[in-house]
Amino acid sequence: MPEQGLTRTLLSKEEIASIVARLGREITEHYKDSDNELIVVGLLRGSFVFMADLVRQIKRPMITDFMTISSYGDSTTSSGDVKVVMDLDESITGRDVLLVEDIIDTGNTFSKVVRMLKGRKPASLRICTLLNKPSRRQVKVKIDFCGIDIPDEFVCGYGLDYAQKYRNVPYVGIYGGPVD
Ligand code: 5GP
């Protein structure tokens, strides 16, 4: 039975776990010969649940950090404006950076963050997203580790919100409009 306000389950807990395990294997394999320090950077708030699960599937030493970018308000459409609300604590210069995102939609937010982080001269910068909405893309984004392509629906759960709600829902569901 979906959570009130979510019309249907898009990805179950089990499907998410299997995607995250596969991403963890791909990422572990990718960095296996690198001597650089790996820093896994999560974009708050949407990525916090995914990132918590993902880092435990990456079998190598790492450090973690978070950054808060504001793009969406309480609406389901992108304003296109991006603001750094909270920057990283750590320097990324000379480190392997793995940027972790919950969902890439138009690509506007992400491309701006990527450009900014590249300016800090990391040894490498790779991108991992759990969900990808290719049909909505406005800006080209190279995704190195992609969980799953999804249709053009507004989704919530597993860290993703509508008006800050639903982040604790353990699956990804399709949002069906406000409920009282
Ligand atoms: P983009 O700049 O790629 O259009 O937007 C990326 C951000 O928009 C994501 O980090 C997420 O916060 C928000 N977003 C895009 N699509 C969805 C969606 O279907 N559900 C939710 N909850 N947020 C979304």
CATH 3.40.50.2020 fits 13-155, yes or no: yes
pLDDT digits (tens, 9 = 90+) for 144-156: 999 999 999 999 9
Pairing state of beta strands 63-70 and 124-132?
A: unpaired
Confidence of residue 72 (pLDDT cuts 50, 70, 90): low
> Using CA positions, which residue lies closest to atom 15 of ligand 1?
105
What pLDDT was estimated at residue 4? 82
Query: Is the pLDDT reported for residue 67 higher than 90?
Result: yes
Cis before 22? omega within 30: no
Instruction: Look at 113 and 73; give whichever has higher pLDDT.
Output: 113
Indicate the domain borders of the chain. 13-155
Contact predicate 76/53, CB 8 Å: no
Structure token digits, residue 133: 């909405």
Q: What is the ipTM of this complex?
A: 0.95
CB-based pocket (< 6 A), ligand 1:
46, 71-72, 78, 101-110, 154-156, 160-162
Query: Is the pLDDT reported for residue 180 higher than 50?
Result: no
pLDDT digits (tens, 9 = 90+) for 17-61: 999 999 999 999 999 999 999 999 999 999 999 999 999 999 999
User: Which of 7, 75, 84, 105 to probe ligand 1 with, by most ligand atoms within 8 A of CB?
Assistant: 105
Confidence of residue 136 (pLDDT cuts 50, 70, 90): confident
> Using CA positions, which residue lies closest to atom 4 of ligand 1?
106
What pLDDT was estimated at residue 69? 86
